[in-house]
Amino acid sequence: MIDFHNHLLAGVDDGASTLEQSRDAVRDMHQHGVRTVVVTPHLLGSLTERPEALAETLDFIDQAFDGFSRMVAEELPDVRIHRGVELMLDSPAVDLTDPRLRLAGTNFVLVEFPGMTVPPHSVQALYQLRVRGWWPIVAHPERYHNLDDLDLLEEWRSVGALLQCNAGSFVGRFGSKAEASAWELLARGWVDYLSSDYHARGRLPIEPCRAAFADAGGRDQFEQLTAANPGRMLEGEEPLPVPPLARRRSLWQRLRRGRA
């Protein structure tokens, strides 16, 4: 498995605070089958308009990445690591020239909109990235508070944006609305990737998510979303379409939800 959305670098954002937490988190991932990790600390896109501030922030992340690299090389030598960021699109003029802003130096970039709110210009913002040669991968689209009509995501996709859902969303870690949206996107065949967005705290969501996919008859989709398509991304290739998968709930789950 490949995880390309997580907050495992120590002391750079709201994820791991210490190298010990980073180590525990990456060990946990390793136990769950992850062999490639792209770390993605939060970064404001508007920083790219202030070269000195950007350089300072990236230097700070470089140092955290060096410590993380050494720790992983010593403790888990079969885990490959790369760097990226989760870039907040808080500016229309984001400059992605520095390869450290992209996922493992590819043309793919992990992006999110501010405040977990889809702005009015979302399609245009994604289009602008695409026409400049970048592939925007929108992080956790299922989590946006104001996204009541998922049809908007078809417009994102039509301008070349790709979608990454969080593993925890499929098992209710982000509430029932995000859970329903994640499954609906999967049923429409619109999800391109699945990652943990793990903040090095609490239970890693990979195993429950894998089980939920298996219950729905979606082992192949899980593999494609967590291994094949992220592997293509690291090679600079577009993802392959993921066959739509409808959710199946057990009788017990339906009874609990009062829908049986």
Which chain residues interact with Fe ion by CB under 5 A? 86, 197
Give the nearest residue (CB) to Fe ion: 197
CB closer to Fe ion, 174 vs 183: 174
Burial of 139 (0-12, 13-18, 19+ CB in 10 A): buried
CA distance 9 to 244: 34
Q: In what order do the strands lie in the sheet with 162-166?
A: 42-44, 86-88, 108-112, 135-139, 162-166, 193-195
CB of 164 to Fe ion, least distance (A): 10
CB closer to Fe ion, 101 vs 245: 101
CB closer to Fe ion, 7 vs 23: 7
CB of 97 to Fe ion, least distance (A): 23
Burial of 245 (0-12, 13-18, 19+ CB in 10 A): buried
CB of 60 to Fe ion, least distance (A): 18
Residue whose C-alpha is closest to residue 178's, from 139, 204, 213, 232:
139
CB of 244 to Fe ion, least distance (A): 26
CB closer to Fe ion, 87 vs 126: 87
